[in-house]
Structure 1
Amino acid sequence: MTGLRERKKARTRQEIVEAALELFEKKGFDETTIDDVAAAAEVSPRTIFRYFATKEDLVFLGQEEENRQIALLLKEVAKSADPIEELMRATRTVLLAPSATPEQFVRCQRLIERTPSLRAYQGRLFRKIEELVSSALLPARGSKHDVLHARLLAAVYLAALNVVMSSWIESGAKGVPTAELDMAEALLRRAFPRTASQAPEGRRRS
């Protein structure tokens, strides 16, 4: 029963996204209302808000929820752990459960590129993500240096992830961008090498 319920929810979510994208492409994002989408998807506005926090979230495909998931996964990690390893592990965990079809990812990307209000929303979303990630990475009693390090790591991570996802979507959004994420992780490790004091006890040199 649980599996059936989850499949039904996933199907309803996809139908809402599809109805929204068709309207956004025909009428324009700013000109389309949630009531319009609800009518096209044959659901209530309340049902839409069970799956998506805002109208913009219909285009960003639940990105805010994915960001919260990543932040929560990071907070569960011991502060002595490798932050880059845990950051990328959390990212891969979330990306293994795609929130849309490849075609929908491509269509959403095109809408964002040609809609000024969506590009502005994307900027605000990135700033919010950066705050969530840097806060999750910051030690409980972090110094000014720790704060700056966490903010820089979050900023570089987001820039790299944005390039990875854009490249993946432009190439058709097939499968999972495993190779691209590996490249992003390698970049982060070169930019933020671990010192001996940061390494776990078992890995430090005597």
Structure 2
Amino acid sequence: MTEGIVGVGLREQHKQTTRQALEDAALKRFARDGFDQTSVDAIAADAGVSPRTFFRYFATKDEVLDMGRAARQAMLRDTVRDLDLDPDLSVQDVVRQAVVALAVGFQDDRARVELRQRAAESSPVLRGRLFDTFVSWERTLAAALADRPGVDRDTAETLAAVGIAMFRTAIARWVRGPGSELPALVASAFGTLSSSPCPS
């Protein structure tokens, strides 16, 4: 039984390593040569696998920019659900803490995030894919907030849009400014918003 569990663990680790190698190879190629000029064959060769292996992990080239879309959607849902257990938190506090938690997941992945940003600049297709990923997180966050008692759908969608906009702004600053930490930049962005005077 133990050997079976270890075997499954090793297979999953191998899959994760292969996926990471393909993602790294693709992002480096996209950033250097451009999306349209990069072939799946070239990505696979750089990762040391066959083109067929690439398509076991990614349906298309642009899917490489998903940034773990589904896993981070689940994380946002779980974070909001857990924060809802604290009755003293306002819905604005929940949004801020959920987006900071999203940022924590990227903190040790700065080089890859920077490659994604550079790759996206090379192609409208990749910019669209990146935008779709952010929109998916925004919708996930809005749906989770709307489940909170007393929060209507319009409020949830507005707060989610603001929260993910803060995240995108912080990401842009993070890749430009060495030495900064993404969660701190996200928290600072929310602090700026809350302290800014409203126009009369």
**2:119 aligned partner, one-letter code:** L
Say whether the 8 Å CA contact 2:62–2:125 is kept in structure 1. Answer: no
> Which of 161, 168, 172 is equivalent to 2:167?
161
Q: Report whether the alignment pairs 1:137 with 2:142.
A: no
Identity across matched positions, percent: 28
Distance 2:131 2:75 in 1: 20
Query: If the length of structure 2 is used for normalisation, what is the TM-score?
Result: 0.70
In structure 2, the gaps of 5 or more residues are 1-5
Structure 2 equivalent of residue 176 of structure 1: 181
Structure 1 residues 130 and 189, CA, compared in 2 at 3 Å: closer, same or farther?
A: same
Query: If the length of structure 1 is used for normalisation, what is the TM-score?
Result: 0.68
Structure number with the higher helix fraction is: 2
**Helix, strand or coil: the match of 2:153?**
helix
Structure 2 equivalent of residue 114 of structure 1: 122
Tell me how large the CA RMSD over aligned residues is.
3.5
> Which of 7, 25, 28 is equivalent to 1:22?
28
Higher relative contact order (CA 8 A, sep 6+): 2
**Helix, strand or coil: the match of 1:110?**
helix
Aligned residues: 187
In structure 1, the gaps of 5 or more residues are 192-206
How far off is 1:111 after superposition? 1.9
Offset from partner CA, 1:130-188 (integer Å, 9 cap, x none): 22111110036767xx111111101111111111111001124x563233122223245
> Which of 71, 80, 84 is equivalent to 1:78?
84
**2:97 aligned partner, one-letter code:** R
Say whether the 8 Å CA contact 1:84–1:188 is kept in structure 2. Answer: no
Structure 1 residues 155 and 25, CA, compared in 2 at 3 Å: closer, same or farther?
A: closer
Structure 1 residues 155 and 95, CA, compared in 2 at 3 Å: closer, same or farther?
A: closer
